[in-house]
Structure 1
Amino acid sequence: MSKPSDSHVAVLAFPFGTHASPLLAVMRRLATASPSTVFSFFNTAQSNSSLFSDDGDRPANIRVHDVADGVPDGYVFTGRPQEAIELFLQAAPETFRREIAAAETVVGKKVTCMLTDAFFWFAAEMAEEMKASWVAFWTAGANSLSAHFYTDLIRETIEVDGRMEETLGFIPGMEKIRVKDTPEGVVFGKLDSVFSNTLHQMGLALPRANAVFINSFEELDPALTENLGSIFKRYLNIGPLALLSSTMQKDTLVHDPHGCLAWIEKQSPASSVAYISFGTVMTPPPGELVAIAQGLESSKVPFVWSLKEKNMVHLPVGFLDRTREQGIVVPWAPQVELLKHEATGVFVTHCGWNSVLESVSGGVPMICRPFFGDQRLNGRAVEVVWEIGMTISNGVFTKEGFEKCLDRVLVQDDGKKMKGNAKKLQEQAQEAIYGKGSSFKNFKGLLDAVVKV
């Protein structure tokens, strides 16, 4: 048994989407809790520069390393979706091996634990070679983790594309999930793509990890928690991270360059404002942006809309002028704080996992417009499992359809029910992160898995 002070943890980040940021947040907590452990954080230069732009308060035991992005010299991108991701993943095992060896030399300690994004299934082999433990972070929810673990069973049971409406009743906790809600690469889409193969291999490899942890809380998905707990050596829900970070940063000023919080402070009555954001990766096509704008204008619902500047050209002519008193359109908004504000009544979202959990943490019902990956699964759970929101009809925004959604969630009785259910989950989430709560205890289990070797 080496003492915790001998621990050297290699943290391997996935540099796309919103993967690296939550892993960094967890690593910071671990580094603060175990100041004698060295944490070497490996990520691409581009991703690191966005994560550490104003990072004066980094714990002294965290070392940041830039790794190659896997794009060969002189490579010309063809514009295929996921091209950059595929190049990175193909080069990643060799890239990480090389950089970890260099970091071991600098630190003067062998790596004792690999703490990685769960996508990096090859870490199972690397950890064995290095005689280190492997702890994997699945950045999405328990429902998509189950879909990837049970991929072979789903394929054997479903067989063909034609049974999309069937539910996955043969998987504990997935009884209300339909085949068509599953992420691409499980039973439809390009099953042989690099990315689909990565997710398939990950599902097969994760039972070898010393621990698998996720940004969620046990009470949100009790059946999935129990089932995944029986599959993995250790399965730890340590979230919601949004609640944790806001309790840890009470004294810091919120970054709000466009005055969203000052604007929402002036709104009343409680729970009347629609907050609209589709994350950092996707934006609805121009026709749907027009439909959202028209639906907002005709419904007169007050709104904060986070929309990149380059997409504002698609808004109807005169929309910004006509709705100046009703709402604001900004290129970036402090999402966690807006969702915690009592004036926010509904979150119009793409249903990425972080956004869903931030909405749950704020007790805010959702109108869901999923695009890809786990977003359909999350939208389905919002609507029929947790009953804290609804998915837009036929999966695309129309003016009338959006007006109906806003009316249903903000005005109708079943909207009040959604709000009540969301508030219950919010209370359970808050209980989970404190003293005797499940996530609080699970974080101690994670610290034990990462630091004690």
Structure 2
Amino acid sequence: MELGTTAKPLHVAVLAFPFSSHPGPLLDFARRIAAHSATPENTTFSFFCTADANASLFSEQNNPRLPPNFNHYHVHDGLPDAYVPSGHPIEKVYLFLNAMPENYRRAMDVAVAETGKKISCIITDAFLWFGADMAAEMNAKWIPLWMAGPHALLLHVLTDLLRQKLEDDVCEEQSLSFVGGGLSKVKIEDLPEGVVKGIDDPFAIMLHKMGQMLPRATTVAINSCEAILPPAVNELKSKFQMLLNVGPLTTTQSISDVVPDEHGCLEWLDKHEKASVVYIGFGSVIVPPPHELAAIAEALEETKFPFIWSFRGDPEKLLPEGMLERTKSQGKVVQWAPQVRILRHSSIGVFVTHGGWNSILESILGGVPMICRPFFGDQMVNARMLEAEWGIGMAVKNGGLSNKDEAVKILGSALLSEEGKIMREKIAFFKEAATKAVEPCGSSTQNFNTLVDLATTS
């Protein structure tokens, strides 16, 4: 910049998808970008999410420690006045989808008026496909963040091809051998809802539009690293203007991990042998059906394996009668557990998980093989890749955890068998690659620095 010139004021709008585990990681991501901006005095960040989500994200308890140039605004949640829930599990999601993108536009207009700065860059959850048109209208950059893995993203980008190739009566066991990108072992039954079935669902329509719009992005950021499934990464690079692997994002402290270890899980783990403990956690949304909870509980009792179970709901009501008392010296059932730190503890031998991408990355960084019981979304294809492509986990489908004997068998295989040993050896490679990627000179760090330059320069 020449002496005497004034830098152009910059305004980065960050648009969050306000459901499940989506808003927190995007806030962390945007906060990191703001912290690394070369001209923080010249760059304003505005974060957009619903009032309910913002109340949690920016609460005193979460204490996100935001820089002074970082503001947040409320986006209308789409709920009508005097709204009475119908009981449909994702009714609020559908109502929100109906309200966007106009609800975001209105909130962004407020931010522009208050700051006096036109928006120069739009960072969105990748779900928010309309970022392409908004950026074009505002002459701004569009940087969507995909928080799952490259293989799942590739499936959404290839949705039109998959719908064209696959007939309605196709066998669920058929593999995607006609698709490149390292997806040959994925089967039709593994595809996320809405890719080839249920295509008229509002959520499916959103993801379909996302796959069509992402090639227009300035760059697509993804929560992965170059070493995880290079064929899918290379295929995505051929379809996008730019792809930046900036993960695993779980290596940075997230808002949710500020909560202390109030149940003493880590101290308890210190008393156990290496790779001997079962850690069970199905994420912040899922509660397995009662018969599966009972099967897992009965298997733990029979095997005597030490365990920590991060349990959603009331264990007194949902677990077999007397189980908590009978296993109080064997394990811990807690309402919340510091999962990132638990998975990095040497005594953890296996992670029983729903197969969400964040949980998978946390397990990889801990070097812990997985037993994956998927439920929806990308979890089925994640489970398939863990077992068939990477060899670092066991996929449980079709009620595999529905009875005690099967649960006993799979727990024993993971902790005691040669198969479990091989999984631990293989995941050590992934751990090393992911750890190197986020080192100061690592590929993900360099990609992140590139992204910061794109977002915070004119």
Give the TM-score normalised by structure 2. 0.94
2:206 maps to 1:198: yes
Q: Find the counterpart in structure 2 of residue 25 from structure 1.
A: 28
- Given candidates 369, 372, 393, the residue that maps to 2:373 is 369
Q: 1:303 to 1:3 in 2, by over 3 A?
A: farther
Residues 370 and 395 in structure 1, CA contact (< 8 A), matched pair in contact too: no
The offset of 1:442, in angstroms, is 0.7
**Which runs of structure 2 are paired with 1:204-353 in the superposition (5 Å)?**
204-245=212-253, 255-267=260-272, 269-353=273-357
Q: How many residues align?
A: 448
More moved, 255-264 vs 105-114: 255-264
Residues 284 and 312 in structure 2, CA contact (< 8 A), matched pair in contact too: no
**Which runs of structure 2 are paired with 1:31-180 in the superposition (5 Å)?**
31-34=34-37, 35-36=40-41, 37-54=43-60, 55=63, 57-172=65-180, 173-180=182-189
Q: Which blocks of at least 5 consecutive residues in structure 1 are unaligned? A: none
Q: One-letter code of the match for 1:185?
A: G
Residues 237 and 442 in structure 1, CA contact (< 8 A), matched pair in contact too: yes
Q: Find the counterpart in structure 2 of residue 6 from structure 1.
A: 9
Secondary structure (helix, strand or coil) at the match of 2:252 reads: helix
The offset of 1:290, in angstroms, is 0.6
Q: Distance in 2 between matches of 1:178 and 1:155?
A: 14
The offset of 1:5, in angstroms, is 6.0
Q: Find the counterpart in structure 1 of residue 195 from structure 2.
A: 186
- For residues 161-208 of structure 1, give each alpha carbon's deviation from its aligned partner in whole angstroms, at most 9, with x where no partner exists: 4321111122222111111111000012x2101111000011001101
- For residues 353-399 of structure 1, give each alpha carbon's deviation from its aligned partner in whole angstroms, at most 9, with x where no partner exists: 11111111111000011000000011111111110010125344121
2:450 maps to 1:441: no
Residues 146 and 153 in structure 2, CA contact (< 8 A), matched pair in contact too: yes
Q: Distance in 1 between matches of 2:397 and 2:175?
A: 19
Q: Distance in 1 between matches of 2:240 and 2:397?
A: 37
2:359 maps to 1:355: yes
Q: Find the counterpart in structure 1 of residue 393 from structure 2.
A: 389
Percentage identity across aligned positions? 48
Residues 116 and 135 in structure 1, CA contact (< 8 A), matched pair in contact too: yes
Q: One-letter code of the match for 1:271?
A: A
The offset of 1:4, in angstroms, is 6.7
Q: Distance in 2 between matches of 1:56 and 1:195?
A: 30
Residues 350 and 375 in structure 1, CA contact (< 8 A), matched pair in contact too: yes
RMSD over equivalenced CA pairs, Å? 1.8
Residues 4 and 452 in structure 1, CA contact (< 8 A), matched pair in contact too: no
Q: Distance in 2 between matches of 1:155 and 1:354?
A: 28
- For residues 245-270 of structure 1, give each alpha carbon's deviation from its aligned partner in whole angstroms, at most 9, with x where no partner exists: 38x99xx9762121111211121x20
Residues 57 and 64 in structure 2, CA contact (< 8 A), matched pair in contact too: no
The offset of 1:435, in angstroms, is 2.3
Q: 1:73 to 1:410 in 2, by over 3 A?
A: same
Secondary structure (helix, strand or coil) at the match of 1:53 reads: coil
2:424 maps to 1:427: no
Q: Which blocks of at least 5 consecutive residues in structure 2 are unaligned? A: none
Q: Distance in 1 between matches of 2:220 and 2:266?
A: 36
More moved, 36-45 vs 336-345: 36-45
- For residues 36-68 of structure 1, give each alpha carbon's deviation from its aligned partner in whole angstroms, at most 9, with x where no partner exists: 321100011111122122326211111011211
The offset of 1:221, in angstroms, is 1.1
Runs of 4+ in 1 over 4 A off after TM superposition: 1-5
Residues 392 and 401 in structure 1, CA contact (< 8 A), matched pair in contact too: no
Secondary structure (helix, strand or coil) at the match of 1:163 reads: coil
More moved, 117-126 vs 332-341: 117-126
- For residues 301-343 of structure 1, give each alpha carbon's deviation from its aligned partner in whole angstroms, at most 9, with x where no partner exists: 1000011243541111111111011000000100000000000
The offset of 1:22, in angstroms, is 1.0
Q: Distance in 1 between matches of 2:25 and 2:102?
A: 24
